[in-house]
Structure 1
């Protein structure tokens, strides 16, 4: 099948730092709607699609790292119209913002997105305020940056194909999965307590604790599970979106104010950490409920978290700030 994509010659975008694979998905979405976008990673490119550019900082000493970052900053500000930085900056302390204002050859507009620990419990980095054409925050960070527009995470539905979810299910009992990248933040302790309680009560199910795997391996684990236990703090993560794309019901703790403000139609089973066991039991015992939640999750992700949907929104922003 032949597909023609007409690229906009007036706009070229660089995404910086592939946190949770969201910038990679954004870049793919932009390219699909005709906006040339490339990805720069600090370390070796992630497995998922890789990155067009990598500084490979882990292979350099501190002086070489500084030189590489400065050289890349000067190159990027000359060769891109928009530099969209994700939970990071090209230069330490966000010094790229004030420097870009005084360097005559710098043409790029700077956009900052804050996705997690870079802003949680903190203030917006001071130097970034000196030259910021647009700023976004994840919905669960809105209180740390009042008035800043919230941007949802996005995933590539071509990679997380719902059609491929069917038929990959392994035979056996119901599989409940938890895949923490940070046990403390994800509240893995509460998950393990719930699992132990259910096992003591005699509920039959398989539990998988998945850690330290590649994205391709994670996708296969998600395809073969029945229920995902995401994170039990205040909001859901990219992993929840990936699971919903594969029509898996998801459990998480969603703070009421964030839910009302940003996603009142979210189909994730909202449960307090001390109530995980009861919610898991209900889903394990009710296959019909699992299927319904799976369908609702896919519809929600298609509407809110598809990288093409988010890319269209960003395209308008990029065009406005470069006009």
Structure 2
């Protein structure tokens, strides 16, 4: 059945491409950026949708949200029924879309293990002439051996239960990556995730629309109470205890400082918390910033984060993140309290940084170049893509404010 479907799906893709049409699908890990990435593709003139089967508390705003159907099949407690449902969704997508974007942990069909895209799915995408791009978000590729080899600090040192939060095992990771060696058009990663995917393409793929967020000045003066925002999903991986220790030490010395922390809340509440604070503490163990750091910078808030090296930054020369090793959190916060760091200047620099490098237009330009380099599209389609990438890059250059 699937062989006949693959032939029909290949023919459908060939017809669309011959007409100058390309349809892309971003699925199915319910990450906040998924619908924004689909929007990036639309900026390139492609037809694109995001699809999920379930959602986190952060957001439910996806183009195709199958949570109710997924929930109904899960209520049957039959893996066979759920598997049939997922295969039907995959068959529909195979006929409808030409380019598939997955994270390493799952596709549309049920995974064969805890992490990984179903190998049969990868094979069918290849047979159907689809382009498959895979991306890392962290836990889907992070192994203990490689993480410990990064040096100190690292996430595995702080992990309370190895095997629970990440793929952990090198053997499991290689099993997950093996089908992609021939099946993926390109494998991508960024920041600390580059270490786990050998031969991957280094590309920052977290878009944020700063135009939807206000960035008022940081109204803090020495002698006032410094409000430090922190929004960890797993505190042990963010260095939360280290931040708390530093703030409690400063408070015991009579310093006016307040930690405002939330977790397990919607993204809109996190945004509100950041906007009402003077500074945002991101993470101090991984060696790379999280998406919350981009949100904070888009709000014009200075960010404290440990950055392991220059490879963690898209532009080390202009990155305004205040690089803070775990043992320096106390010292850096004290500098902020004394007014030795211009928080407003750092915050506004952060806003410029995300506008320049992480706007939907900036990420769209990078995706366009990715397609030009790897998708093997016809010359006329490539010419249109190249023109669109040029326009997007030109628009970014014209919109970029002068550095102060």
- 1:190-201 aligned within 5 A: 190-201=242-253
Match of 1:99 in 2: 124
SS of equivalent residue, structure 1 residue 232: coil
Match of 1:244 in 2: 297
Match of 2:198 in 1: 146
Match of 1:5 in 2: none
TM-score, length-normalised on structure 1?
0.86
Match of 1:32 in 2: 43
- Alpha carbons of structure 1 residues 45 and 74: separation in structure 2 relative to 1, 3 Å: farther
Contact 1:153/1:238 (<8 A) preserved: no
- Alpha carbons of structure 1 residues 127 and 201: separation in structure 2 relative to 1, 3 Å: same
Out of 244-253 and 119-128, give the one that drifted further: 119-128
C-alpha separation in 1, matches of 2:229 and 2:206:
21
Report the count of equivalent residues: 311
C-alpha separation in 2, matches of 1:300 and 1:58:
40
Contact 1:110/1:134 (<8 A) preserved: yes
Contact 1:20/1:238 (<8 A) preserved: no
Contact 2:27/2:50 (<8 A) preserved: yes
C-alpha separation in 2, matches of 1:238 and 1:22:
9
1:321 is matched with which residue: 375, 378, 400? 375
SS of equivalent residue, structure 1 residue 130: helix
Query: In angstroms, what is the RMSD of aligned CA positions?
Result: 2.7
TM-score, length-normalised on structure 2?
0.70
Contact 1:109/1:322 (<8 A) preserved: no
C-alpha separation in 1, matches of 2:207 and 2:275:
16
- Alpha carbons of structure 1 residues 150 and 263: separation in structure 2 relative to 1, 3 Å: farther
- How big is the shift at 1:151? 2.0
Out of 42-51 and 23-32, give the one that drifted further: 42-51
- Give CA deviations for 1:279-315 in whole Å, capped at 9, x if unaligned: 1121233286101111211121122211221112112
- Alpha carbons of structure 1 residues 281 and 9: separation in structure 2 relative to 1, 3 Å: farther
C-alpha separation in 2, matches of 1:46 and 1:212:
7
Residue 269 of structure 2 corresponds to residue 217 of structure 1: yes
- Alpha carbons of structure 1 residues 49 and 299: separation in structure 2 relative to 1, 3 Å: farther
1:126 is matched with which residue: 148, 169, 178? 178
Match of 2:14 in 1: none
C-alpha separation in 2, matches of 1:298 and 1:261:
15
- 1:145-184 aligned within 5 A: 145-158=197-210, 160-161=212-213, 164-166=214-216, 173-184=225-236
Runs of 5+ unmatched residues, structure 1: 1-7
Residue 188 of structure 2 corresponds to residue 136 of structure 1: yes
Contact 1:80/1:107 (<8 A) preserved: no
Match of 1:86 in 2: 103
Residue 318 of structure 2 corresponds to residue 265 of structure 1: yes
C-alpha separation in 2, matches of 1:19 and 1:232:
25
Contact 1:77/1:100 (<8 A) preserved: yes
SS of equivalent residue, structure 2 residue 282: strand
Runs of 5+ unmatched residues, structure 2: 1-18, 144-169, 378-404
Contact 1:174/1:206 (<8 A) preserved: yes
1:112 is matched with which residue: 106, 123, 134? 134
